[in-house]
Amino acid sequence: MFISGSGEQLESATVCKDNACDLGKWIYGDAVSLKGGATYEALRAEHANFHRCASDVVKEMENGRREAAEALLEGEQFETASNRTVSAILQIEREVESDAPAAAAM
């Protein structure tokens, strides 16, 4: 785990980029066709907020404040950002799946 010093080394300048991870690449790539819809915008916004929260954790570690990083990681804001992102993923997944049969029938 990052906080313990093992695992992947992260930099806050990279972690804050919501278009660099696999989900972000999809949001700003293939999913751009969904742009304009409320579900797409919710996912984009929640995912970006999650990256901001994660970046804050990494910044604390970069500044040698492990306890502060742990507090952020275990805090309500990080948990809420994570949960909202997962909920938005599930919502857009349901939307895409419900539209798929209709699109295939055309």
Per-residue pLDDT 10s for the chain (106 aa) are 577 767 788 999 999 999 999 999 999 999 999 998 899 999 999 999 999 999 999 999 999 999 999 999 999 999 999 999 999 999 999 988 887 665 444 4
The residue length of the chain stands at 106
Q: What is the pLDDT of residue 1?
A: 59
Say if pTM beats, i.e. exceeds, 0.75: yes
Residues 6+ apart with CB under 8 A from 87: 46
3-state secondary structure 39-94: HHHHHHHHHHHHHHHHHHHHHHHHCCCHHHHHHHHHCHHHHHHHHHHHHHHHHHHH
